[in-house]
Structure 1
Amino acid sequence: MKRFAVTALALLASTAAVTGARAETVVITAARMLDVASGKLIDKPMIVAVDGRITQVGRQGELADSSKIDRRIDLGALTILPGLIDMHVHLSSDPTLSGMQALRYPASFWTVLGVAMAKRTIDAGFTTVRNVGAADYADLGLKMAIERGSIPGPRIVPATYAIGATGGHCDSNELPAAYVFDRPGIADGPDGVRQKVRELHRRGAEVIKYCATGGVFSIGTSVGAQQYSQSEMNALVEEAHMLGMKVAAHAHGNNGIKAAIRAGVDTVEHVSFADAEAFDLAKKAGTWFSMDIYNDDYILAEGAKNGVPEASLAKEREVGLKQRQTFQAAWKAGVKMVFGSDAGVYPHGDNGRQFAKMVEWGMAPADAIRAATVKAAEALGREADVGQIAVGRYADIIAVAGDPTADVNLLRDIKAVVKGGALVKDAR
């Protein structure tokens, strides 16, 4: 008790010292700013941030008392826009270590690998990511290290383990069944999935991701086959929502997509074989689609060299074009869409390559950008924090050399990144 009292007094003293410190004011200027909500460019913007959050947005010469400015970040002739949001990444994955060769590495390797991937991600302009599946709670460890300032990286919304049915896409089917090993993401039955959601929440998950259907990279699963019953999905989603967490459902097959939407999931990932009925269900429920329509190019070009089994490559050939056609049809039908790349299946840092595919398959550049900013923030339930350059949000800002609404490929060449009012990349 005496040690506890001493510790408590020290914490109180530390808190008082922090409270008494003067807040740091940063001013950020550039030639132009993209207002992502309207799609309009604003000349000579000025953003004022205090302790990492935006307090004023206006034009140069109109804001801020210069005597109170602690730092200035002048981005010169560049165009600024909000830091990008990727709703589907796996930071502790490396596509060049696919298939059986990944089994050569210990669990600790993948967390260390994630440090490098987090740096590539923020350098690519993605200041917030939703990590929808990581072994050994690697995404939680990365999040904590980034928030302490120990390593560079984006803001992470961690799912920890993806939940899946025995033998399904989120299980580990690479080895013969006689090999018994721990599979922390596996849960079966309504009570089982409820308990698993509670356990992951207890461990630090902020979003729940589960596998409603088979997938491309799992062994022995049909890519579109439903793998959880409606009652299991209902129980999982109900439990997660009761705990205040949003839910992402991995689903390629049409039946699994519809079952996930009926269960009340917040986002459906991949959505390869959805039909018009699924679109109508999604629109009525307010469900977001997160569709990784770039990575097919990488997987089919590099997958065999990286160790992806032929069975998985065959499934990718089945999925790739159809998924892009579904993306186009869903967008035309008015389904809500967010940016989700599945980085980790292809190299981290190349996230921005997907913008061009989204435009090729039906979106205007401004819509593709909104999918990775204001719309993604809404789907996350964090629109008060990220997604726009607006008062109250984090001062997470990126800069490009030109107008990204005219040439979306500019988002593959990020010149500067500001996170929380601090310049973390300057490649001018």
Structure 2
Amino acid sequence: MRRILISVLALLVAACATLPEPARYDLAITNTTVIDPQSRISSPKQTILISGGRIAAIAPAGGERFYAQDEVDGSGKFVIPGLMNMHAHSAVAPVAEATFALMLANGVTGIRDMSADCWEPRGEIFLCIDQMREYARKIEAGELDGPRLLRLSSPIVQSAPTWQLPESPDPAFSPATAEQGAQIARMLKQRGVDLIKTYDRFHPDSYLAMLAAASALDLEVSGHLPIFIGSAEASRLGHRSIEHARDLLTDCSRFGEVYREGNMATLRGEDGASWPKQDDLRVLSVTQFDPEICAQVMGVLVANSTYYVPTHGTREMDVRAREDTYRNDPRLKYMHPFVVGDWKKDLDRTAQIPADQLPKFQAYYRHGLAITKFASDAGVKLMIGTDANDTMMFPGFGVHDEMKRFAEAGLEPMDILRAATSVPAEYLGRTADLGGIAKGKIADLVVLNSDPLTDIGNTADIDAVVFGGRLRSRDYLDGLLDALAERHSETPASSLSE
């Protein structure tokens, strides 16, 4: 009997000796539900294995033997890709690093900054493209907490001078001729921006020449539409993304053609012509909505792969500026005192809207949501953007706010998640790296305590964030927030303007 036992033990030892060593990983998130917006699949009881900053494997929980340096128990939790904010503003020197921290603390791991350069000579407030590139390097190297700076735009470009220009600007910074339009595209390409950010007051010749020159240089043009051109025509010409719930509302109505022609007549200097009134724009875009016109416009956007970033929060501010609960949002403690003061001034101005006019603004906001649903149903590529750092547009937090507005518009949770993950990845040409959860992708992930597919508001219920494979626990994220609240409580309100 003893001889038999010794033999059995010997066999067991030999068997164990032949077992392969367990695979080693940097991080494992075990027994969790993986929600992949790119494939539209939600998979329970999965383990995500991460090495070298990327997802090395996804396997059923309890299957593969492994060793991980760090491990997160994902039981009862849900993992989504890192969120992306596709219309943010962070390139303001005194608030940039706080903005980045707020983004990461809210699971935002990538942004498109829509004003990430300055006009020379550079001032003290607005950051320039070389400074933003250095921030991008520090963030990706793990030297600074923040999101990836995925696309960095030029300063505002339009024919009328803008508030971002120096006191004595080069006339070419506000292109008013075809030659200047082409020239500014060449200059911005040389500066190394990723896209040209357009604004509304553009001379037709300069805008069209700039678009043509930018196309030849493989330089994107996105932003506000010039007042003379409609969404469909801009899409045909290569305007890559349309920002804010304004232009599409107008162009989905019978008033759209009247509005654009009125602006063109004024630009031509025709007798009796004048700029259409903004009140008409708000009211008639709603009351003259035409579903057939809208379907035609959306069809052009789909055919040309033009993206839409509605930033509904900016229109909500118009409606809620009087509300005490809105004005006294507890998240204000994370914002720089100067920013809070500037927001208060804007809220006070907006709150002066006569009470009997408020229904017009409410209707305009609600119509913007309806157009977003119309666009989604038509197949237009929607992306989440917030205008972060604009009035009451809290960096990081605002992404979750905007996702809830998409739900208010009637979109399903999976489609909303796609607008914050896989659609931006497609826009960026980075579907191999970003926007989903699959082997080989960069490990930018958000671990949630609650299911976002039952309530999109659950994207704010964050247990941890993984950025490039580096784990940021709830305690770590709370530390980021607490440090900002403490720092800003001690910062004089005037410091940003000094």
**Shorter-chain-normalised TM-score: which range?**
0.7 to 0.9
Partner SS state of residue 324, structure 1: helix
1:128 paired to 2:176 = no
* Superposed CA offset, 1:119-161 (max 9, x none): 1011111111101113332543432331333310000124343
The reply on whether 1:78 has 2:77 as its aligned counterpart is yes
User: In the TM superposition, what whole-angstrom CA distance separates every residue of 1:80-135 from its partner, at most 9, and x where no partner exists?
Assistant: 0100111111124xxxxxxxxxxxxxxxxx32311001110111111111011133
Query: Is the contact between residue 160 and residue 200 of structure 1 (CA under 8 Å) also seen in structure 2?
Result: no
Which residue does the alignment assign to 1:339? 384
Aligned match of 2:402: 354
Alignment-derived partner of residue 153 in structure 1: 146
Q: How far did residue 253 of structure 1 move? A: 5.6
- 2:237 pairs, out of 256, 263, 270, with 263
Q: Give structure 2 stretches of 5+ with no counterpart.
A: 1-23, 117-125, 253-293, 322-326, 328-341, 478-498
For 1:190-269, list aligned pairs within 5 A: 190-211=178-199, 213=200, 227-229=202-204, 231-251=205-225, 255-269=229-243
Identify the residue that residue 422 of structure 1 maps to in structure 2.
470
For 1:194 and 1:424, the matched residues in 2 are separated by 45
Distance 1:151 1:308, change over 3 A: same
Q: Residues 29 and 237 of structure 1: is their aligned pair in 2 closer, same or farther, counting only changes over 3 Å?
A: farther
Q: What is the distance in 2 between the residues matched to 1:252 and 1:324?
A: 22
Rounded Cα–Cα distance in structure 1 between residues aligned with 2:207 and 2:405: 31
TM-score, normalisation: structure 2:
0.66
Question: Helix, strand or coil: the match of 1:162?
Answer: strand
CA distance 1:407–1:243, change in 2 (3 Å): same
* Deviations, residues 380-400 of structure 1 (Å, cap 9, x unaligned): 211122100112211000011
| Secondary structure of the corresponding residue to residue 307 of structure 1 | helix
**Where in structure 1 are there 5+ consecutive unaligned residues?**
1-22, 93-109, 215-226
**In 1: Cα distance, 2:168 partner to 2:350 partner:** 24
In the alignment, residue 246 of structure 1 is paired with which amino acid?
A: E
Deviations 1:247-289 (A, max 9, x none): 3222386834234212112211114223114222212212111
2: distance between equivalents of 1:66 and 1:376? 33
Q: Determine if contact 2:49/2:56 at 8 Å carries over to the other structure.
A: yes
1:44 partner SS: strand
Aligned to 2:496: none
Give distance in 2, aligned partners of 1:82 and 1:387.
Answer: 6
The more displaced of 301-310 and 288-297 is: 301-310
Give the equivalent residue in structure 2 for 1:286. 305
Give the conservation status (yes or no) of the 8 Å contact 1:197–1:239: yes
More helix by share: 2
Aligned in 2, Cα 1:192/1:184: closer, same or farther, shift over 3 Å? closer
293-302 or 399-408, which deviates more: 293-302
Contact 2:309 2:384 in 1 (8 A): yes
Matched, 1:186 2:174: yes
Give the counterpart letter for 1:125 in structure 2. G
- Superposition CA RMSD, Å: 3.2
Q: Separation in 2 of the partners of 1:232 and 1:417? A: 44
Q: 1:404 maps to what in 2? A: 452
Q: What's the secondary structure of 2:157's corresponding residue?
A: coil
Distance change in 2, residues 1:155/1:245 (3 Å): farther
Q: Give the SS at the match of 2:158.
A: coil
Q: Check 1:364–1:298 CA distance in 2 against 1; reply closer, same or farther (3 A cut).
A: same
Deviation of 1:344 (Å): 1.6
Q: Distance in 1 between matches of 2:474 and 2:164?
A: 44
Runs of 4+ in 1 over 6 A off after TM superposition: 311-316
Q: Is contact 2:447-2:463 (8 Å) kept?
A: yes
CA distance in 2, matches of 1:294, 1:30: 36
Q: How far has the Cα of 1:55 moved from its partner?
A: 2.5
Whole-angstrom CA distance in 2 between matches of 1:283 and 1:43: 34
Question: 1:55 is paired with a residue of what secondary structure?
Answer: strand
Change (3 A) 1:340 1:133: same
Q: Alignment identity in percent?
A: 25
How far apart in 2 are the matches of 1:71 and 1:125? Answer: 19
User: Deviation at 1:371?
Assistant: 0.8
Structure whose CA Rg is larger: 2
CA–CA distance in structure 2, aligned partners of residues 255 and 82 of structure 1: 36
Letter in 1 for 2:344: K
Relative to structure 1, the CA distance from residue 160 to residue 288 in structure 2 (aligned partners, 3 Å threshold; closer, same or farther) is closer
Instruction: Give yes or no for the alignment of 1:305 onto 2:344.
Output: yes
Instruction: Confirm whether residue 172 of structure 1 aligns to residue 153 of structure 2.
Output: no
Letter in 2 for 1:422: R
SS at match of 1:142: helix
**Counterpart Cα distance in 1 of 2:368 and 2:26:** 46
CA distance in 1, matches of 2:169, 2:455: 49
